[in-house]
């Protein structure tokens, strides 16, 4: 599929797929959306818990959420797994301008994008990454996660990612009291999460979006 580089309203880049009419991030601001949804309402509440944090990202994409998690982990020990069915080309990674907007991020981002697929890589003393090239529906693991970033394309473009059976598969990987965070705030998503036994919160969304969703596994 053809992929285009686009600048969002906060100056940071996103990618656009014309065939799907879908952006990887909000056109209102890629960095501000990722930080609001996944860092402020996902990672931050788990910091300083005195235990290693296991994070699963469904939809590793450009690596932006991973980069922010590493930058803002505040020396907490983090093991990060990113699932991506359709990795983008190296040239697109290198064209993205995140390091221009995030202080002290250049070397870390290079390590993230250069890390081998399907192999655990030490990015910093406190942060390890394993990128896995597969579909979440096909991935098998016995690992349990404290936090899941659900960053698949929206239901219009990737309906199969938002089916209840897919969500149920993902929630089996979440620890008790673990967080599931996503930019999506569709009513059907929240109903399905409640039926899966979660406490569901509708939180204020990032600029340009009224709401987002966080679920806690009971």
Q: What share of the chain is helix, strand, coil (3-state, %, to 5)?
A: 30, 30, 40
- Token pair recorded at residue 203: 């939180």
Higher pLDDT, 49 or 210: 210
Per-domain residue ranges of the chain: 29-217
Q: What is the pTM of this model?
A: 0.97
Alpha-carbon distance of 60 to 35, in angstroms, equals 15
* Contact present, 55 and 69 (Cβ < 8 Å): yes
Looking at the chain, the whole-number percentage of residues with pLDDT higher than 70 is 100
* Residues 138-165: tens digit of each pLDDT: 999 999 999 999 999 999 999 999 999 9
- Reference 38, options 176, 214, 161, 209; nearest CA is 214
What residue ranges in 47-105 does DSSP mark as E strands?
A: 53-58, 78-83
Domain 29-217 has CATH 3.40.50.150: yes
* Contact present, 215 and 180 (Cβ < 8 Å): yes
Residues paired with 199 in a beta bridge: 216
Q: What is the pLDDT of residue 74?
A: 83
In this predicted structure, the answer to whether residue 79 has a pLDDT above a threshold of 90 is yes
Alpha-carbon distance of 110 to 104, in angstroms, equals 12
Backbone angle region of 175, left / alpha / beta, with phi > 0 → left and psi within -120 to 50 → alpha: beta
């Amino acid at each position: 599929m053809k992929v285009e580089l686009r600048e969002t309203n906060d100056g940071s880049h996103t990618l656009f797929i014309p065939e799907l009419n879908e952006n990887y991030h909000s056109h209102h601001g890629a960095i501000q959306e990722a930080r609001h949804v996944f860092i402020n309402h996902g990672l931050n509440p788990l910091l300083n818990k005195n235990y290693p944090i296991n994070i699963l990202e469904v939809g590793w994409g450009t690596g932006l959420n991973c980069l922010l998690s590493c930058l803002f982990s505040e020396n907490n020990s983090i093991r990060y797994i990113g699932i991506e069915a359709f990795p983008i080309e190296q040239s697109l990674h290198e064209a993205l301008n995140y390091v221009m907007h995030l202080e002290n991020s250049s070397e870390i981002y290079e390590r993230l994008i250069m890390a081998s697929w399907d192999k655990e890589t030490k990015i910093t003393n406190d942060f390890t990454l394993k990128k896995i090239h597969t579909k979440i529906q096909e991935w098998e693991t016995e690992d349990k996660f404290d936090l899941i970033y659900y960053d698949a394309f929206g239901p219009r473009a990737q309906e199969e990612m938002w089916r209840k059976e897919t969500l149920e598969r993902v929630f089996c990987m979440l620890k008790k009291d673990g967080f599931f965070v996503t930019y999506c705030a569709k009513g059907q998503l929240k109903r399905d999460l409640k039926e899966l036994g979660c406490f569901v919160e509708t939180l204020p969304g990032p600029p340009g979006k009224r709401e987002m969703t966080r679920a806690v596994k009971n």
